């Protein structure tokens, strides 16, 4: 499984629709301060269901929508699509390519799509939970996170290993069953 393409429109500093094609191996995103490098990883985190505006470096979720610049008006919605190559079948869905889309409007309306079909956030979370590609997973390690992992308490560190080992899904199901 690998990230094949990312399409961003109206998300943070990306007012125009842009597409980034990735190839297997290492890709480095370079650019001056404030040019939007971190906004690219924010877009990946967001499309995978991130709900915390703070962890996307904003105050409210609306802040992910392009807010305008000297030469451009603000936009009314943001949309990100992530396309994964799934030829190895790591994601348990019978497609060799999987697309995930998230859209949000200033009015607060929002949508998630899996292979262009409307779905719930839960469908996306469940699908990626054990693939190593959830929003909590370690496919994205942000600035400061390495220190945080090294300095965390034993219990917190255990939950990191549990997620990586794929047992988190069962723990969450157990917790849900106990609540019923
Ligand atoms: P650094 O090298 O300092 O880490 P960076 O390349 O990671 O920089 P980002 O943090 O990705 O830069 O981008 C910051 C830019 O994105 C700022 O100029 C900010 O104004 C812009 N930005 C963030 N949210 C929005 C928004 N909603 N609308 C328009 N621009 C935005
Ligand atoms: Mg940055």
**In-domain check, residue 74:** yes
Nearest-angstrom CA–CA distance, 148 and 157: 10
**In-domain check, residue 26:** yes
**In-domain check, residue 125:** no
- How far does the centroid of ligand 2 lie from the alpha carbon of residue 117, in Å? 32
**Residue 104 sits in which domain range?**
2-120
Decide if the complex's ipTM is over 0.95: yes
Under 8 Å between Cβ of 71 and 81: no
| Candidate of 15, 35, 61 to mutate for ligand 1, largest count of ligand atoms within 8 Å of Cβ | 35
**In-domain check, residue 168:** no
pLDDT bracket for residue 31 (50, 70, 90): very high
**In-domain check, residue 166:** no
Which residues, in sequence order, are CB contacts of 135 under 8 Å at separation 6+?
Answer: 45, 48, 49, 50, 125
- The pTM of the full predicted model, rounded to 2 decimals, is 0.85
Closest-CA residue, ligand 1 atom 25, reads 12
Average pLDDT of 34-51? 93
Q: What angle do CA 87, 136, 167 make, to 5 degrees?
A: 75
List the shell of residues around ion ligand 2, using CB closer than 5 Å.
37-38
**In-domain check, residue 137:** no
Under 8 Å between Cβ of 133 and 139: yes
pLDDT bracket for residue 134 (50, 70, 90): low
Cβ–ligand 1 contact at 13 (below 6 Å):
yes
* pLDDT on residue 136: 61
**In-domain check, residue 152:** no
Q: What CATH number should be reported for the domain holding residue 113?
A: 3.40.50.300
The structural domain count of the chain equals: 1
């Amino acid at each position: 499984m690998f990230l094949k393409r990312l399409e961003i429109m109206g998300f943070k500093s990306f007012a125009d629709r842009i597409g980034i094609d990735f190839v297997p191996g290492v890709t480095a995103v370079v650019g001056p301060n404030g040019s939007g490098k971190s906004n690219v990883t924010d877009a990946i985190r967001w499309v995978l269901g991130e709900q915390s505006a703070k962890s996307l470096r904003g105050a409210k979720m609306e802040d992910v929508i392009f807010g305008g610049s000297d030469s451009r008006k603000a936009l009314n919605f943001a949309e990100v699509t992530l396309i994964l190559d799934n030829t190895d079948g790591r994601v348990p869905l019978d497609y060799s390519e999987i697309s995930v889309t998230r859209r949000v409007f200033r009015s607060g309306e929002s949508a998630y799509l899996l292979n262009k079909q409307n779905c719930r956030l839960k469908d996306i979370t469940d699908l990626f939970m054990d693939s190593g590609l959830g929003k909590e997973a370690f496919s994205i390690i942000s600035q400061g996170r390495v220190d945080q992992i090294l300095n965390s308490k034993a219990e917190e560190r255990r939950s990191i290993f549990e997620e990586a080992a794929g047992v988190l899904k069962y723990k969450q199901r157990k917790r849900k069953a106990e609540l019923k």
